[in-house]
């Protein structure tokens, strides 16, 4: 049976030798991931990591290629740099707008179900004289009835406009027998 990896809590490693060895391992993994991403997706990638010792930075794939990629990034218009980025307020505003749309959609669906239920009650005769209905409920039911009549009219119009073409006339010799639908078996 395979061994499950230990859950690692991210935090500053205080012991110097342990920190340096983990740094080397993670850096090697990061460079490998950047290379894999470049190969699999055919994109330009570069990684620049400055160590805590202040020495020259570790660069992937090479310093020359990384400079070219970074210059290309800098030459992009400012909008291209941060097309998808937004501040906390923008993120929250967008999220609130999406949630408000969901609430409004749910409210409309609920009202539509309620209106259909009321219409069914009226049609079944359970609300004689529409007693107990508010003006708003009556208006919604009336609007729903008009909407349903309009929809049925459109469907009927489509059905009638898509009528099958008349059957061709059958002729035998010199006698025209007319359409087969006119003859009885």
For the chain, what is the domain count? 2
Instruction: Report the chain's mean pLDDT, rounded to a whole number.
Output: 82
Q: What is the CATH number of the domain that holds 49?
A: 3.40.1810.10
The answer to whether residue 184 scores a pLDDT higher than 80 is no
- Does 132 share its domain with 102? yes
Residue 131 within a domain: yes
Residue 42 within a domain: yes
Residue 64 within a domain: yes
Looking at residue 128, its pLDDT comes to 77
Q: Which residues, including other chains, have CB under 8 Å from residue 171's CB and lie 6 or more apart?
A: 177
Higher local confidence (pLDDT), 70 or 179: 70
Average pLDDT over residues 60-73: 88
Per DSSP, the residues of 39-52 read HHHT----EEE--T
- Last residue of one domain, picked from the residues 48, 77, 106: 77
Residue 3 within a domain: no
Residue 175 within a domain: no
- Where does the pLDDT of residue 105 fall: very low under 50, low under 70, confident under 90, or very high at 90 and above? very high
Higher local confidence (pLDDT), 153 or 164: 153
* Rg, the chain, Cα only: 37
- Does 102 share its domain with 148? yes
- Where does the pLDDT of residue 84 fall: very low under 50, low under 70, confident under 90, or very high at 90 and above? low
SS3 call for 20: helix
The answer to whether residue 1 scores a pLDDT higher than 70 is no
The answer to whether residue 177 scores a pLDDT higher than 60 is no
The answer to whether residue 20 scores a pLDDT higher than 90 is no
pLDDT tens-digit map of 108-150: 999 999 988 988 888 888 877 777 888 888 888 889 899 999 9
Neighbour tally for 129: CB within 10 Å: 7
Percentage of the chain modeled with pLDDT above 90: 28
- Does 72 share its domain with 113? no
- Does 68 share its domain with 125? no
Instruction: State yes or no: cis peptide before 47, omega within 30 of 0.
Output: no
Looking at residue 174, its pLDDT comes to 55
Q: Which residues of 38-62 are buried (b: 16+ CB within 10 A; e: fewer)?
A: eeeeeeebbbeeeeeeeeeebbbbe
Q: Report yes or no: 49 and 57 within 8 Å, Cβ to Cβ.
A: yes
The parent domain of residue 69 ranges over 16-77
The answer to whether residue 96 scores a pLDDT higher than 90 is yes
- Does 104 share its domain with 133? yes
- Does 72 share its domain with 92? no
The answer to whether residue 46 scores a pLDDT higher than 80 is yes
Looking at residue 185, its pLDDT comes to 45
Strands 175-176 and 47-49: unpaired
The answer to whether residue 101 scores a pLDDT higher than 90 is yes
Residue 155 within a domain: yes
């Amino acid at each position: 049976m395979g061994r499950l990896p230990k859950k690692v809590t991210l935090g500053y490693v205080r012991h110097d030798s342990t920190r340096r060895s983990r740094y080397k391992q993670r850096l090697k993994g990061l460079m490998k991931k950047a290379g894999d991403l470049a190969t699999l997706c055919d994109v330009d990638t570069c990684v620049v990591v400055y160590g805590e010792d202040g020495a020259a930075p570790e660069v992937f794939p090479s310093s020359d290629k990384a400079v070219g990629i970074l210059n290309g990034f800098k030459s992009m218009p400012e909008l291209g740099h941060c097309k998808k980025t937004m501040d906390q307020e923008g993120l929250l505003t967008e999220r609130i707008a999406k949630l408000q749309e969901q609430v409004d959609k749910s409210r409309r669906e609920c009202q539509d179900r309620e209106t259909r239920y009321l219409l069914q009650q009226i049609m079944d005769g359970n609300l004689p004289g529409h007693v107990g209905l508010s003006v708003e409920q009556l208006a919604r039911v009336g609007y729903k009835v008009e909407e349903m009549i309009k929809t049925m009219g459109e469907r009927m119009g489509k059905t009638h406009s898509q009528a099958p073409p008349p059957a061709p006339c059958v002729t035998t010799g010199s006698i025209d027998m007319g359409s087969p639908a006119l003859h009885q078996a």
